A = this chain, B = another copy of it.
Amino acid sequence: MSGRIAPPSDEALTALKWAAGAGGWSEDRAEIAPHLVEWRGRWHGRTPLLLKPADTDSVSAIMKTATRHRVAIVPQGGNTGLVGGGVPDESGAEVLLSLKRMRRIRRLDVADRLIIAEAGATLAEVDEAAAEAGLRFPLEISSGGTASIGGAVATNAGGVHVMRFGSMRALVLGLEMVLADGTVVDELRRVRKDNAGLSLTPLIVGSEGTLAIVTAASLALAPRPATCATAWCALARIEDAIALLRRLETAFGMALEAVELVPEFGLKLVCRHIPGTRAPFAQPYPWHLLAEATSPHETASLSVEMEAALALAMEEGLVKDAVIAKNGREREDLWRLRHAMSEAQKKEGPSIKHDIAVPLVELPAFLKAAEEAVKRRLPGARPCPFGHLGDGNLHFNISAPAGADESAGRDFLARWEEVQRIVHDIVATHGGSFAAEHGIGRLKRGELARLANPGRLAAMRAMKRALDPLGILNPGVML
């Protein structure tokens, strides 16, 4: 939707430097370089200037200037996004705005279980601050050591605890935001309930930097678990995995905080490529489930209940085999089998990735249809659907045929968009989402235009026009 924006004039660049203040900008190629490459190397951008403001007033001054000169601004957090939403395009016309220097923890209210952090703070830094107060920030993604609060807000990040705590939007009590014209909108709430007028916050969460620059967030914290019961289960059918998920929910209620799905093929890749990993069971099983329940106090009953629930499930044939971690190290070993999935798949060779969600009632039929369609189009390709069964969000990744050489790998990846359309169409027929937790960015912009219904697109464009009439915020991303 954004009309192409001209490269900024020298006058505009000078004005932006003044707005960013001393130490607030850089033209050093070496310093800028890492900001221009998406971490998986899929996108390489160019920019005439890196802005790195230290406070909200500077961001406001920058956006006032960008509006006056109609300069395209690309906000960037930890640059761990997966859809190319945080890097400028190749035109060299877009100015990069890094929030990295804004990383203060402004407030931590223990009694209210909330923290107010600036956009550049990492998820890990926020969780560490919470931990000192015996609390935690429950959003857990594998890039949490680098990913920033602002980026997690911009993408409505999910992760392994969404089934219990929700995605980022559910954890954000309110935001401090700077609009395209420099207006500062302060919704940094210290209360969990506030209906004093329209709230811009939930619209900005997930807007991928296209509607406003997030400068700080008020976030809900949770008690830190004192006990946890972690189990790895072997299953014969995907239907059994869904049945076990519901069984565990009934057994543990909201104490159940993660239920992750791993296929046998994925487990094999991990054990093959990741040093120090081994399969929990001697024999192979089609599906594996990693389940974890926690309690905020010390209790032995959690493991006892886990054993009882799984023993019953095994008697009934729902679960084929199961292990429960006896200590922290065993727990980490089990989690590594899940967290290493992406790395293992990368080491196995090229893969085409999908970030989809389908209703659980549709999941078995979706998997059957999608795997058949993919294998028909890409003979020998090896689907590896894994991820967050607890909320129906799977990473339906497809590894190239075994032993594919470099040129075969290139041919395989050349089919990305074609295969993506095939898979996304099947997702749509099963009532699912083709962008569950990674967002649209540059990667799925065409798919959004292709698959979103006209009413939704009209509403999205109305929001964009209302908050960014000049189209200077992250043009080329999402809309």
Q: Taking each of A192, A200, A296, which has the highest tally of chain B beta carbons within 10 Å of its own beta carbon?
A: A192
A237 close to B (CB within 8 Å): no
CA distance A114 to B452 in the complex (A): 22
- Whether the Cβ atoms of B466 and A436 lie closer than 8 Å is no
A162 close to B (CB within 8 Å): yes
Q: Which residues 258-288 of A have a CB within 8 angstroms of B?
A: none
CA distance A158 to B358 in the complex (A): 29
- Whether the Cβ atoms of A359 and B435 lie closer than 8 Å is no
A433 contact from B189, B436, B440, B466, Cβ within 8 A: B189
Q: Which of A178-186, A319-327, A343-351 contacts B (4 or more CB under 8 A)?
A: A178-186
A411 close to B (CB within 8 Å): no
- Whether the Cβ atoms of A435 and B250 lie closer than 8 Å is no
How would residues 235 to 254 of chain A score, 1 for a CB under 8 Å from any chain B CB and 0 otherwise?
Answer: 00000001000100111011
- Whether the Cβ atoms of B166 and A170 lie closer than 8 Å is yes
State the oligomeric state as a number of copies.
Answer: 2
How would residues 195 to 215 of chain A score, 1 for a CB under 8 Å from any chain B CB and 0 otherwise?
Answer: 111111011011100110000
A357 contact from B110, B193, B453, Cβ within 8 A: B193
- Whether the Cβ atoms of B456 and A186 lie closer than 8 Å is yes
Q: Which of A28-36, A94-102, A457-465 contacts B (4 or more CB under 8 A)?
A: A457-465
Given contacts A391-B193, A431-B190, A456-B200, contact A296 B249 (CB under 8 A): yes
CA distance A439 to B362 in the complex (A): 38
How would residues 157 to 169 of chain A score, 1 for a CB under 8 Å from any chain B CB and 0 otherwise?
Answer: 0100011101101
Minimum CB–CB distance from A336 to chain B (whole Å) comes to 24
- Whether the Cβ atoms of A456 and B249 lie closer than 8 Å is no
- Whether the Cβ atoms of B242 and A111 lie closer than 8 Å is yes
A371 close to B (CB within 8 Å): no
- Whether the Cβ atoms of A193 and B111 lie closer than 8 Å is no
A255 close to B (CB within 8 Å): yes
CA distance A55 to B184 in the complex (A): 41
- Whether the Cβ atoms of B250 and A193 lie closer than 8 Å is no
- Whether the Cβ atoms of A197 and B440 lie closer than 8 Å is yes
- Whether the Cβ atoms of A169 and B392 lie closer than 8 Å is no
With a cutoff of 8 Å between Cβ atoms, the chain B residues found around residue A452 in the complex are: 196-197
- Whether the Cβ atoms of B458 and A183 lie closer than 8 Å is yes
A3 close to B (CB within 8 Å): no
- Whether the Cβ atoms of A170 and B170 lie closer than 8 Å is yes
- Whether the Cβ atoms of A466 and B462 lie closer than 8 Å is yes
What residue of chain B has the Cβ atom nearest to residue A194's Cβ? B433
What residue of chain B has the Cβ atom nearest to residue A256's Cβ? B254
CA distance A249 to B437 in the complex (A): 30
With a cutoff of 8 Å between Cβ atoms, the chain B residues found around residue A360 in the complex are: 111-112
CA distance A432 to B436 in the complex (A): 34
With a cutoff of 8 Å between Cβ atoms, the chain B residues found around residue A249 in the complex are: 223, 296
- Whether the Cβ atoms of A460 and B195 lie closer than 8 Å is no
A359 contact from B111, B195, B223, Cβ within 8 A: B111
With a cutoff of 8 Å between Cβ atoms, the chain B residues found around residue A6 in the complex are: none
Minimum CB–CB distance from A136 to chain B (whole Å) comes to 13
Minimum CB–CB distance from A385 to chain B (whole Å) comes to 15
With a cutoff of 8 Å between Cβ atoms, the chain B residues found around residue A391 in the complex are: 191-193
Minimum CB–CB distance from A467 to chain B (whole Å) comes to 6
A26 close to B (CB within 8 Å): no
With a cutoff of 8 Å between Cβ atoms, the chain B residues found around residue A114 in the complex are: 359
Minimum CB–CB distance from A8 to chain B (whole Å) comes to 25
- Whether the Cβ atoms of B192 and A392 lie closer than 8 Å is yes
- Whether the Cβ atoms of A193 and B436 lie closer than 8 Å is yes
A478 close to B (CB within 8 Å): yes
A155 close to B (CB within 8 Å): yes
What would 10 A/B residue contacts be, using CB atoms closer than 8 Å? A162-B193, A169-B202, A191-B358, A193-B391, A194-B436, A195-B438, A196-B433, A196-B448, A198-B203, A199-B206
Closest 5 CB pairs of A and B: A466-B466, A254-B254, A202-B202, A194-B433, A191-B357
Interface on A for B, CB 8 Å cutoff?
A: 109-112, 114, 155-156, 158, 162-164, 166-167, 169-170, 179, 183-187, 189-200, 202-203, 205-207, 210-211, 223, 242, 246, 249-251, 253-255, 294-297, 301, 357-362, 388, 391-393, 431-440, 444, 448, 451-453, 455-460, 462-467, 478-479
8 new A-B contacts, CB < 8 A, other than A111-B360, A197-B457, A198-B463, are: A111-B246, A155-B195, A193-B357, A196-B434, A196-B444, A196-B448, A198-B478, A223-B253
